[in-house]
Structure 1
Amino acid sequence: MSSKSRPPAGGLGFQAMNIDLGALVDGSSGGVVMARLAAYARPVDEGSPYCVVNDYVATAMGMAMGASVPPGTLVKLGSEWGFLSLGFGERGKRPPPADFEEVALERPWEATGVVVLDQWIANSDRHDGNLAYMSSLGVAAFDHDQALFGACPPDKGEESLRQTINRRVSGHELAPHLKTIEHVQSWIKRAQSISRLELKRIVWACVHADLLSRPEGESLVDFLEHRQLNIDRFIKESYSEFTGIAAWTLDANGGE
């Protein structure tokens, strides 16, 4: 099936996760079975104090807009909160590094979603080690610990957000390999359909877990909302990087 005829996939289904099914649960009337999951945990790192927040919030944004990110959540890792993400792949094996040209050619819908997500969350750390593709399962974008606050020092989160709030992600690895921009506006609309109330609900999970202060939480919500409204501008400002697209139609002035 060609990329043109392939129907868009709405993110990752659980069939793409590393799950082994076991025996039926005693007393279950609905066929519920035990499951063993392959998952990855990110604890708080003193050298990158916002890494758990970055990964959790970025993943939640991706899940909310339907992008191809493995499901993840905050969990208690011992006495502290960390981030847990389901593993993508088959039979507990980590997939090989992604070939960006192959992803863009065979899965343009999902690839475009990753580009839009990364512009929204200010993630300039997309590489073949945190983007996976298996033709039998789909695309998975993960490890967003360098997005949002980045690797800024403790108590410098608000300053970091102020510095990057209007900074577009330049040199995205997928941009030169995309052959169509027909999916860009659909993904932007998906991202912009997420309300401020939902943004605050996601961020406030980090505040309640003492991973963020209340001022940092408010600043992050404002940051996400501002960038959410400016994704279109960030994409247009990047038009020269989409070298594989013959006709640029997002901006009548060619992005200038």
Structure 2
Amino acid sequence: MWRGLAHVFVKAQRTTGSRLILHEYLAARLANYLGIPVPFGEISSLPGNREAWVSGITSRDGKVLPPSTYDELMKSDRHILTGIFVFDQWIFNADRHEMNLVWSEDIGLWAIDHELAFCGDREGEERSEWFGECTLQPLGMTHLRRLGLTEEDLAPWISIIRTNGKSYAERALKSAHKRGLVSQRVSREYISFLTSRAKLIESFLKRGITGKPPRRAIPAPDDPQLF
């Protein structure tokens, strides 16, 4: 075994907002429990007493691997792409677009960039009030229908989230608490949020399949035409 240097992708904690690292950490754990490829990543210290989220999905020269289009991914990675969409619905990640997916023929499809999941990262708001706004709110996902995804495509992912969502949430938040990323009180709010959405995941996604507009849908900030 050798120790050396490697190129990694670094996201530093901002001075505004306080949940970037927590959200990346939770998303990576939850996704890997489900079998969805998300760079596992780790917390790292930076100069100036700052923390960052560090992951290693880059090419040899340090460049992030290029994205592919949804239509191309439907041909090469339909099952995983479907899982990513279902995962986004569960964790309320409205910031999914083609530029925060990475793909290569060697490793296939990976999802990145989850700091705005769990209803976003707002400064100075009580988490319970924040979750109260979106726990029962489906993300609008009419692109599921446009891409030709069916209930049969979604069913395996829905099943695992409905069956295991609560236990996965508990495991991920327990781990985050041990690392000092979240208090026990706030952990319980995340667990309640994820447990509630796991129970409703099928009804949320059927709205995207049928093309019916979801209640109080939130558009994706960077790619509104998909929603």
Fold match (TM-score > 0.5) = yes
Contact 2:101 2:111 in 1 (8 A): yes
Is the aligned partner of 1:51 residue 2:51? no
- Partners of 2:123 and 2:41 in 1: how far apart? 24
Q: Structure 1 counterpart of 2:32, which letter? A: M
Consecutive unaligned residues of structure 1, counting only runs of 5 or more, are: 1-31, 243-256
TM-score of the pair, normalised by structure 1 = 0.72
Greater share of helix: 2
Larger Rg: 1
**Matching of residues 171-190 of structure 1 within 5 Å:** 171=141, 176-190=146-160
Counterpart in the other structure of 2:84: 114
Q: 2:38 aligns with which of 60, 64, 69?
A: 69
Q: Deviations over 1:15-41 (max 9, x none)?
A: xxxxxxxxxxxxxxxxx4446443223
- Partners of 1:74 and 1:214 in 2: how far apart? 19
Q: Percent identity?
A: 22
**Matching of residues 1-256 of structure 1 within 5 Å:** 32-34=1-3, 36-77=5-46, 79=49, 81-89=51-59, 92-171=62-141, 176-194=146-164, 196-241=166-211
* Larger RCO: 1 or 2 (CA < 8 Å, sep 6+): 2
Q: Structure 2 counterpart of 1:124, which letter? A: A
TM-score of the pair, normalised by structure 2 = 0.80
Q: Structure 2 counterpart of 1:161, which letter? A: F
- Partners of 2:142 and 2:84 in 1: how far apart? 10
Consecutive unaligned residues of structure 2, counting only runs of 5 or more, are: 213-227
Q: Cα distance 1:197–1:111, how it changes in 2: closer, same or farther (>3 A)?
A: closer
Cα distance, 1:125 vs structure 2: 0.4
Q: After the TM superposition, which segments of 4 or more aligned residues of structure 1 sit over 6 Å from their partners?
A: none
Contact 1:51 1:150 in 2 (8 A): no
The SS at the match of 1:129 is helix
RMSD: 2.5
